[in-house]
Amino acid sequence: MTVNLLDFDLEGLTVFCERLGEKRFRAVQLFRWIHQKGASRFDEMSDLAKSLREKLRGVACIMAMPVVSQHISADGTIKWLFDVGDGNAVEAVFIPESDRGTLCVSSQAGCAVGCRFCSTGHQGFSRNLTTGEIMAQLWFAEHFLRQHLKRDERVISRVVMMGMGEPVQNYNALVPALRVMLDDNAYGLSRRRVTVSTSGIVPMIDRLAQDCPVALAVSLHAPNDALRDTLVPLNLKYPLAQLVAACHRYLAHAPRDFITFEYCMLDGVNDSDACAHQLVDRIQAHAGAWCKLNLIPFNPFPASGLLRSKPDRVQAFAKILNDSGIITTIRKTRGDDIDAACGQLAGDVKDRTRVMVRMERNKTMRPVSIDDHAPRTEGADA
């Protein structure tokens, strides 16, 4: 069986190379070829000894996931759907900004947390992605975009773990992936430009603080336990007081001096003035400006039975928070026309059926591109 080198952070690749009898600097060279240059074939790696390339060809590969579809939104947002086998698919979304852009990455096929307002949650949990599958999203998107935009330097300047899945419930695959994102020999992103978003698994927030403290976003969605219990079932296990305390502990390690709270605005559910005031009380019980609030207009899907708050309600809610000194922003929804907005990734159950049909049709498909310049994957025996 061949090893997919996208599965390794630099430490892992070093161990792998040492087993082949190669020194650490060879691992660094290989790592740079893969992540900085987007190489997928060993014979491209011109400064590696021919003997090493031969050796690698027999045991390793650089293998992305087959692209099932690619959609480009009118606002430039690009959504890719990747086949992860057994009828499962995950998505990554590129959100362009003025110069560079953000990639939203998935961590699991499905999600076990089961939030009421989230279409991924409604799908249930299929499986954890491997480090290689998490990294393949960034590797593919970055090198695809560089080729497409004819750019030599980095295109993706921020990664948010806000696609499908609960990243910290896939902790062992997540942490090496974060390390590759941060590594100067790979993507070289600063800790503040890599964000892990979590629905609030308290012990994992503490572990992340120790192992790889990147920017933290916490999905709050309610100002009290009674309401949060109904929206984020995990709240029964880790209620708000515990969650907020964990956020405080994280601050001591965080690359930014604030935590971002995400709050999905649901019409008539969590968007009243009373909710806003309760939220202020809860957050201000902790001294200082230690968090920011990001209001996300709900992206509806039929099975949820929920509606998006009206824009003036969102504005009024934001005003109460801003007036009380809590920095509050309203997220602009992007990629609406291609269902690339939060919580719509891989769609609802009906869409999942369409995905399966498309996957069936494209079974042999490899990464494709707008103009056939996509990075290609090549297996050991290809």
* 214 to 233: interface string for ligand SF4, x by CB under 6 A: -----x--------------
Say how far apart CA 187 and CA 189 lie, in whole Å.
Answer: 6
Q: Quick check: 165 binds ligand SF4 (CB under 6 A)?
A: yes
Interaction of residue 91 with ligand SF4, rule CB under 6 A: no
Cβ nearer to ligand SF4, comparing 139 with 298: 298
What amino acid occupies position 29? Answer: Q
CB of residue 150 vs ligand SF4: minimum separation in angstroms? 35
Q: Where are the alpha helices (DSSP H) in 20-85?
A: 24-35, 50-59
Output the six-digit token pair for 120: 């991924």
Count of residues touching ligand SAH (by CB under 6 A): 15
**Does 115 contact ligand SF4 by CB under 6 A?**
yes
Distance CA 142, CA 138 (A): 6
For 196, phi and psi rounded to 5 degrees? Answer: -100, 130
Q: Which of 262, 271, 339, 351 is in the footprint of ligand SAH by CB under 6 A?
A: 262
User: Which residues contact residue 135 at a Cβ distance below 8 angstroms, ignoring those fewer than 6 apart?
Assistant: 6, 7, 177, 180
Contact criterion met (CB below 8 Å) for 218 and 247: yes
Give min distance, CB of 7 to ligand SF4, in A: 23
Smaller CB separation from ligand SAH, 211 or 267: 267
> Residue of minimal CB distance from ligand SF4?
121
Out of ligand SAH, ligand SF4, none, what residue 176 binds, judged by CB under 5 to 8 A for its kind, is: none
| Contacts with 57 (C-beta within 8 Å, 6 or more apart), sequence order | 42, 380
Q: Which does 378 bind (CB under 5 to 8 A by kind): ligand SAH, ligand SF4, none?
A: none
For helices 202-211 and 240-251, what crossing angle results, to 10°? 10
Taking the C-alpha atoms of residue 11 and residue 13, their distance in angstroms, rounded to an integer, is 5
Question: What distances in angstroms separate CA 27 from CA 111, 225, 242, one per listed residue?
Answer: 34, 49, 42
Phi, psi angle pair for 267, to nearest 5°:
-55, 120
**Which of 117-125, 177-185, 210-218, 362-370 is the region at the interface with ligand SF4 (rule: CB under 6 A)?**
117-125
Q: According to the binding rule CB under 6 A, does residue 298 interact with ligand SAH?
A: yes
Q: Measured between alpha carbons, how far is 294 from 160 in angstroms, rounded to an integer? A: 14
Give the nearest distance from C-beta 264 to ligand SAH in angstroms: 4
* Residues with catalytic roles: 91, 342
Candidate ranges 23-31, 109-117, 130-138, 238-246; the one touching ligand SF4 (CB under 6 A)? 109-117
Beta pairing, strands 125-128 & 156-161: unpaired
Candidate residues 343, 347, 367, 375; the one interacting with ligand SAH per rule CB under 6 A: 343
> Using an 8 Å Cβ cutoff, are 213 and 178 in contact?
no
The 54-93 contact track toward ligand SAH, x by CB under 6 A, reads ----------------------------------------
Give me the residues that bind ligand SAH (CB under 6 A), please.
117-118, 162, 166, 197-199, 219, 262, 264, 296, 298-299, 342-343
Give me the residues that bind ligand SF4 (CB under 6 A), please.
111, 113-115, 118, 120-121, 165-166, 199, 219
